[in-house]
Each structure stands twice: as C-alpha cells, then as structure tokens.
Amino acid sequence: MAEAMQYPDLVVVGAGLFGLTVAQQAAERCGASVRVIDIRDHIGGNAYSYFDEETGAEIHKYGAHLFHTSNARVWEYVNRFTEFTDYVHRVYATHDGEVYPLPTNLGTINQFFRAHYTPAEAKALIEEQAGELAGTDPQNLNDKGIQLIGRPLYEAFIKNYTAKQWQTDPADLPADIIKRLPVRYNYDNRYFKDTWEGLPKDGYTAWMERMVADPRIEVSLGVDFFDESQPFNKAALQAAGVPVVYTGPIDRYFDYALGDLKWRTVDFKEVRYDEDDHFGCPVMNFSDADVPYTRAIEFKNFNPERREQQNHERTVVWEEYSRFAERGDEPYYPINTEADKALYERYAELAAAEPKTVFGGRLGTYKYYDMHNVIDTALTAFDEQVLPLIAD
C-alpha cells in the first residue's frame, strides 16, 4: 500500500517578497514546516537580481528596484536580512536633446524657461500656465498634469512619456495615476521622500536567500501550482486541507472563470557600450514621442561603491518598452479601469470563500505595490490570516 503524502504545515505559492516574508514568519514564530514553490527558476519574484559577468553590474532582471520606506516596522524587518547602501535615487529626463532633473523642481523650471525664478515666482508661473484648470480637481490624467505643473512642462515631460507607458491617450487615463506627482519649488531632486532609502549591499538575491535560510523552509523552483503531476498542486492541497498562501494571479487561480484581469507588461532591450559610463546616472527617462522606449537603466550606476570590482571598458544598459500584457506575458502593472476593478471585486468574493487559502501580493490582490508595501501587507496578513490557519 502506498504511503500517504506527508504535507508541510503551510505551502506558499510564489517566492516573491510577500511569500518569502510569510514563510519566514511561519517558520520563526510558529516553528511551522513550510514549502515554498515557484514556477520560475529563482527566488525573489520581480526583485530578483544577478551579477553580469562582463561588466560586474548587478542586473535587476525585472526592471529597476529601489528600496525606500518610512515604515519603521518594515525597515527594522528588512535590516535583519541585509545591510543597505546609502544610495539616493535621482532621475533625469532627456527632452528635445537636453537633459533635465526630475521630478519637476526649481532646477527643472529655471532650466526649461531659461530663467532664474525664485520659488514664489515659479509657483505663480505654474499657476498661470495651468490656465482654467488651476485650482480645479480634474478627473483625467491629461488635465490633472496640466493643473499640477502647467501646460508647457506637462507636455514636455509627462504627456508623451505617459502615452508610451500606457499606450493610451492621457485624456483617457484616470487622474489618480499622477495625483502625487511632486512639484518642488526648491532644488531638491531626490526622487523619494521616505525616511530610509538604499540598495542591499550584496544584492537582492542574497537578501532573499537569507529570508529562507531556516531549515524548516524548503524551496522548490520550476514548480507549477496548477500541474497535477506534482504533489504541491491546488487540487491535492485542497483535498488534504493544507493551508496555502497564494501570490499568483487571482484570475488564474479560478481558471479565468470570470474573465481576464488586464495588465501592462515591460519588454527590455539590452545594449552594451564600449565605455565605462554611458549616461552618468542610473535611470534616464526619454520624454519625447520619437523615442520608442520610456527609459533606459544603466545598472552600474546604482552601485558606485562597487567601482573597483566593475569593468571600466564596458557598460550594460536596458531600454524599457511598455505594452499591454497578453496571457503568458509577465504582468507588471494592473490597468485598473473601472471594469477591471469591478472584475477584481468579483474574484475577491470567490477568494473570500476559499477557507484555507490566503491571497496576497501584487498578483493575488490586483494592486501595484512598492517593495516596502509588499512586506508590510505580508506581515499584517501573517498576523491576521495565516497565523490562525496554522494554529488550526
């Protein structure tokens, strides 16, 4: 007679930051045995990185990942697994053959208008250039952008960039996409305003590996949750009553029964240059419509502290192209139209009826999260949802 399958106390589907945080907490706080599975061949989800042999640069495989937070609980938690550099993120944009600092600040304004405005003068100018939209609360992105930074700056730096990013006329996009677009009437061009900011000193993957170094956690890569030929599949775990934390696409979990949720994806084109430094900064936006990509990432420049270990004769740049995702593409950003939000709510109702499955992360909740948000929601979900399941 075949021996019955011995399942762990918890199965986590997806080895991204949400899943790894939950797994780490389950093992540490409950002494639970945890199996983490992921269809990819690496841990870390979209935060995964690797080192490029030729240049010595740390490549962020799924696009630039910058850690920043003002959440003390999250900062204390992540510092258990990695030290951070003192990196401060700053972005520049090329428009009409000239490079400007972003986000819009007094330096951007004075350079653009070839002026030397004081903060008060610049603020008055922007209000004047917002025209009839000044003081209003527009509901589409186009008008909101004009209201925030005036028509000339909006059309130079936001309009075409956003159209490339979303493949949609900004007049047809909701205003909340850029409601927090910063405008600074001083020369501060620090991109984030959080209390803490930096990059993991020895890379993202080393950080994630430490999170699952507990012997009670086993990680299985290249494993499809929906493949019934492997033991940790959806049907088998449900039949055995094993608690599951699911961080994959919520519509996929229910076999797209209500329809597909819409996402944007990103394609990358790698370019290598026979020089030490091509852009002089980590991220260069391209604001004009005649450049097909939205931005370029030069990975070397995220880690100037590693200069001695890098190749000064070659550098690697990734150009980033945005488009609508189809099934099989890597989903990055939820489209979040009203129809998509309504469809997600219907899926969320189905999810709530799954007694031993907790849905989390970007894909499982159809939300865009920064890394610190993912960790914060994972810590909360563990306390409120996962811990009771393990206790049962």
In the numeric block, the tokens 């009826």 are attached to 353
In the numeric block, the tokens 């004769």 are attached to 313
Integer angstrom CA distances of residue 290 from 70, 101, 171, 233: 38, 20, 20, 47
Instruction: Catalytic residue, from 121, 209, 276, 370: name it.
Output: 370
The residue ranges of DSSP E strands in the chain, in sequence order, are 10-13, 34-38, 49-51, 58-60, 67-69, 91-95, 98-102, 196-198, 217-221, 244-246, 263-273, 283-286, 295-298, 315-324, 333-334, 357-359
Instruction: Catalytic residue, from 35, 264, 344, 366: name it.
Output: 264
User: Does the active-site annotation cover 307?
Assistant: no
Q: With residue 27 as reference, give the H or E element that holds it.
A: helix 17-30
Q: How far apart are the first and last CA of the chain?
A: 29
Integer angstrom CA distances of residue 388 from 237, 361, 381: 18, 19, 10
User: Does the active-site annotation cover 184?
Assistant: yes
Instruction: Catalytic residue, from 98, 368, 383, 384: name it.
Output: 368
User: Does the active-site annotation cover 368?
Assistant: yes
User: Does the active-site annotation cover 305?
Assistant: no
Size of the chain, expressed as the number of residues it contains: 392
For residue 304, the tally of other CB atoms under 10 A from its CB is: 11
User: Does the active-site annotation cover 323?
Assistant: no
CA–CA distance, 131 with 146 (Å, rounded to integer): 8
Instruction: Catalytic residue, from 320, 344, 347, 366: name it.
Output: 320
Instruction: Catalytic residue, from 87, 295, 298, 347: name it.
Output: 295
User: Does the active-site annotation cover 40?
Assistant: no
CA–CA distance, 201 with 205 (Å, rounded to integer): 11
Q: What is the DSSP string of 190-250?
A: -S---SEEE-BTT-HHHHHHHHT-STTEEEEES--TT-TTSTT-HHHHHHHT--EEE-S-H
User: Does the active-site annotation cover 275?
Assistant: no
Instruction: Catalytic residue, from 48, 87, 161, 184: name it.
Output: 184
Instruction: Catalytic residue, from 86, 96, 132, 180: name it.
Output: 180
CA–CA distance, 286 with 322 (Å, rounded to integer): 13
Residues labelled as active-site residues: 180, 184, 264, 295, 320, 368, 370
